């Protein structure tokens, strides 16, 4: 390639500006507002998934060596090939599309609103209007789902859009850049691949909404860029999601759910996977024994060789995680695992017991296969431990005690809560998915995705009757007596 050709492919501020102008013109034409356009695009997303299941699974495998079944269930939908990671991603995405196709007419209908005597006679409604030109920036850990699930919301709401997938999952990013123009309306839906400089060029532009998934550091950059244009944002961030384990529970089921929510979800590289456990001193050994037993059942004696565990995304994250593990404060605390294979970027499921709260591992989101356990005197002490940190994206409690459940829901602030399970609240499309405080702002999934990309416009209809003289100056006592 000549230097001239190379320069032409650079995506800079000028290119980003041209792109948004083009999308603004398309939005102004009204094309994306129609019900028919939205439905055709949603159907095409499903068709794309059906026709490229294998390509999607391969890309996810290249990026994270994800077990294949996991992809289909979490990111697209079950196929004959047993590849868990792929099943998860494809099934969730196809479910989002199917729901939007089924409900879209209803979602788009103006919602009647009550009026008051003040405007009698009148009627009112709330009209959902598309915001315009939106930007979706996604993360690497569920690169297919986190790119296309928000896109389904943006399409359903009738916007034009740019998707910027993560450069840390390059195979999925380039597959999306290839497939989206083949299946979707290329004049309204664009993909821009790239890293910091391309994203920064995009962030210079004026958008009608920015939907960002990723860490809080970049979340702050996104919010600051959006503030310049008063652009609203959805920030889907992370945090330290705790699991409180009470005694007197079905320990085997609890541990199996914890394991699959931690190591079964991308080897802990998931935003709502358990970050740490809190339990009481007298229950800790039982819990550790049960975790060890079930881990061995799932992943065998040498989990580094298990095909059911994803690798760490890259060497930077690998060293970040090993640094947490090697800190003096926690090195004697490993009660299971700790093995690593740097060449293949693999770290075995690792449990650390009675970890000091001032250790590095308790100061940042782990986002990997390490699971510290904190000990408290009374299980109710857990609420203070959790609330003393930043608000997590998810919080979990395993208990049979009704009072504890109530206390937990009322006292612990988190994006979402699941009692006696891990991560499954995310699969309920009638629940909004999003953070609170430092774990994010705004939410999506189901109709919440449509709402995230719509403006709720208040509309009042009046006629020329019912005009009270009292409303107009001069304001005299005589008018009031009338």
Cβ distance 345 to 315 under 8 Å?
yes
Two tokens at 465? Answer: 């009757």
Q: Kindly state the smallest distance separating residue 98's Cβ from ligand NAD, in Å.
A: 21
130, 150, 158, 238: residue in contact with ligand NAD (rule CB under 6 A): 238
Contact letters for ligand NAD, residues 244-273 (x by CB under 6 A): ---------------------------x--
Phi and psi (nearest 5°) for 158?
Answer: 85, 30
Q: How many residues sit close enough to ligand NAD to count as binding (CB under 6 A)? A: 28
Closest CA to 51 of 99, 94, 96: 94
- Nearest to 412, CA basis, from 291, 244, 290, 198: 244
- Give the 3-state secondary structure of the chain: CCHHHHHHHCCCHHHHHHHHHHHHHHHHCCHHHCHHHHHHHHHHHHHHHHHCHHHHHHHHHHHHCCCEEHHHHHHCCCCCCCEHHHHHHHHHHHHHHHHHHHHHHHHHCCEEECCCHHHCCEEEEEEEEECCEEEEECCCCCCCHHHHHHHHHHHHCCCEEEEECCCCCHHHHHHHHHHHHHHCCCCCEEECCCCHHHHHHHHCCCCCEEEEECCHHHHHHHHHHHHHCCCCEEEECCCCCEEEECCCCCHHHHHHHHHHHHCCCHHHCCCCCCCEEEEEHHHHHHHHHHHHHHHHHHHCCCHHHCCCCCCCCCHHHHHHHHHHHHCHHHHCCEEECCCEEHHHCEECCEEEECCCCCCHHHCCCCCCCEEEEEEECCHHHHHHHHHCCCCCCEEEEECCCHHHHHHHHHHCCCCEEEECCCCHHHHCCCCCECCCHHHEECCECCHHHHHHCEEEEEEEEECCCCCCHHHCCCCCHHHHHC
67, 261, 440, 442: which one contacts ligand NAD (CB under 6 A)? 440
Interface mask toward ligand NAD for 177-216; x: CB under 6 A: ------------------xx--xx------------xxx-
Per CB under 6 A, which region of 93-101, 117-125, 165-173, 339-347 contacts ligand NAD? 165-173
For ligand NAD, which is the closer residue by CB, 317 or 333?
317
As measured in angstroms, the least distance from the Cβ of 311 to ligand NAD is 15
Residues 6+ apart with CB under 8 A from 65: 310, 311
User: 82 or 196: whose CB is closer to ligand NAD?
Assistant: 196
Q: Which is nearer to ligand NAD, 145 or 251 (CB)?
A: 145
Of the candidate residues 237, 259, 295, 347, the single one contacting ligand NAD (CB under 6 A): 237
Least separation, in Å, of the C-beta of 113 and ligand NAD?
Answer: 32
Q: How far is the CB of 92 from ligand NAD (least distance, A)?
A: 12
φ, ψ for residue 142, nearest 5 deg? -125, 70
57 is a contact residue toward ligand NAD (CB under 6 A): no
Nearer residue to ligand NAD within complex by CB, 64 or 353: 64
Q: Which is nearer to ligand NAD, 139 or 312 (CB)?
A: 139
Residue 168 makes contact with ligand NAD by CB under 6 A = yes
Return the number of the residue (167 or 289) whose C-beta is nearest ligand NAD. 167
Least Å distance between CB 164 and ligand NAD? Answer: 5
Q: Count the Cβ atoms, other than its own, within 10 Å of residue 13.
A: 14
Q: How far is the CB of 375 from ligand NAD (least distance, A)?
A: 25
Shortest reach from residue 10's CB to ligand NAD, in Å: 16
Q: Which residue is nearest to ligand NAD (CB)?
A: 238
Out of 22, 81, 125, 167, the only residue in the binding site for ligand NAD (CB under 6 A) is 167
Of 31-39, 95-103, 236-244, 472-480, the window that binds ligand NAD (rule: CB under 6 A) is 236-244
Q: Footprint of ligand NAD on residues 308-367 (CB under 6 A)? A: 365, 367
The token duo for 208 is 């009608």
**Rounded alpha-carbon distances, angstroms, from residue 471 to 121, 250, 476:** 15, 67, 11
Q: Which is nearer to ligand NAD, 201 or 353 (CB)?
A: 201
Q: For ligand NAD, which is the closer residue by CB, 133 or 271?
A: 271
Least Å distance between CB 320 and ligand NAD?
10
By CB under 6 A, tell whether 60 contacts ligand NAD: no
- Site map (CB under 6 A) of ligand NAD, residues 125-164, x = contact: ------------xxxxx----x-----------------x
Write the binding mask 385 to 414 for ligand NAD: x where contact by CB under 6 A, - elsewhere: --------x---------------------
Instruction: Tell me whether residue 224 or residue 460 sits nearer to ligand NAD (CB atom).
Output: 224
Question: 332 is written with which tokens?
Answer: 């004697």
Task: For the CB of residue 212, give the shortest distance to ligand NAD in the complex, in Å.
Answer: 7
**Residues involved in catalysis:** 236, 271
Interface with ligand NAD (CB under 6 A): 137-141, 146, 164, 166-168, 195-196, 199-200, 213-215, 218, 221, 236-238, 271, 365, 367, 393, 435, 440
């Amino acid at each position: 390639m000549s230097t001239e050709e190379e320069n032409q492919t650079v995506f800079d501020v000028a290119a980003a500006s041209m792109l948004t102008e083009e999308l603004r013109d398309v939005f102004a034409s009204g094309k994306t507002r129609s019900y028919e356009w939205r439905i055709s695009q949603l159907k095409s997303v499903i068709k794309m998934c059906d026709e490229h299941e294998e390509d999607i699974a391969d890309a996810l495998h290249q990026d994270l060596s994800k077990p294949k079944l996991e992809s289909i269930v979490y990111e697209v939908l079950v196929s004959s090939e047993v590849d868990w990671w792929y099943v998860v991603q494809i099934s969730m995405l196809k479910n989002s599309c199917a729901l939007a196709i089924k409900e879209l007419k209803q979602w788009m209908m103006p919602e009647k609103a009550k009026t008051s005597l003040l405007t009698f006679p009148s009627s009112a409604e709330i009209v959902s209007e598309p915001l315009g030109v939106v930007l979706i920036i996604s993360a690497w850990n569920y690169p297919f789902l986190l790119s296309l699930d928000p896109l389904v919301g943006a399409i359903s709401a009738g916007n034009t859009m740019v998707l910027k997938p993560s450069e840390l999952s390059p195979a999925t990013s380039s597959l999306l850049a290839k497939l989206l123009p083949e299946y979707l309306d290329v004049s309204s839906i664009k993909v821009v691949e790239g890293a910091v400089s391309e994203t920064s060029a995009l962030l210079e532009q004026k958008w009608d909404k920015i939907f960002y998934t990723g860490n809080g550091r970049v979340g702050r950059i996104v919010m600051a860029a959006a503030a310049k244009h008063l652009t609203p944002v959805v920030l889907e961030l992370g945090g330290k999601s705790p699991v409180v384990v009470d005694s007197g529970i079905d320990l085997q089921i609890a541990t199996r759910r914890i394991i699959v929510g931690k190591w079964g979800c991308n080897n802990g590289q998931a935003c709502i996977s358990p970050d740490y456990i809190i339990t009481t001193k007298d229950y800790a050994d039982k819990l550790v024994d049960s975790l060890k037993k079930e881990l061995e059942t799932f992943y065998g004696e040498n989990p580094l060789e298990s095909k059911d565990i994803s690798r760490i995304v890259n060497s930077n994250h690998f060293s970040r995680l090993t640094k947490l593990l090697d800190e003096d404060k926690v090195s004697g605390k490993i009660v299971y695992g700790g093995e690593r294979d740097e060449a293949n970027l693999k770290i075995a499921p690792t449990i650390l017991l009675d970890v000091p709260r001032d250790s590095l591992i308790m100061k940042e989101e782990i986002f990997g296969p390490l699971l510290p356990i904190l000990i408290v005197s009374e299980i109710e002490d857990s609420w203070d431990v959790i609330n003393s940190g930043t608000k997590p994206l998810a919080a979990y409690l395993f208990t049979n005690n009704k009072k504890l459940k109530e206390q937990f829901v009322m006292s612990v602030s988190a994006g979402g809560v699941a009692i006696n399970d891990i991560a499954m609240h995310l699969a309920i499309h009638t629940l909004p998915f999003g953070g609170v405080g430092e774990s994010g702002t705004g939410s999506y999934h189901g109709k919440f995705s449509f709402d995230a990309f719509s403006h709720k416009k208040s509309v009042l209809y009046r006629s020329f009757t019912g005009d009270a003289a009292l409303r107009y100056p001069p304001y005299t006592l005589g008018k009031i007596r009338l």
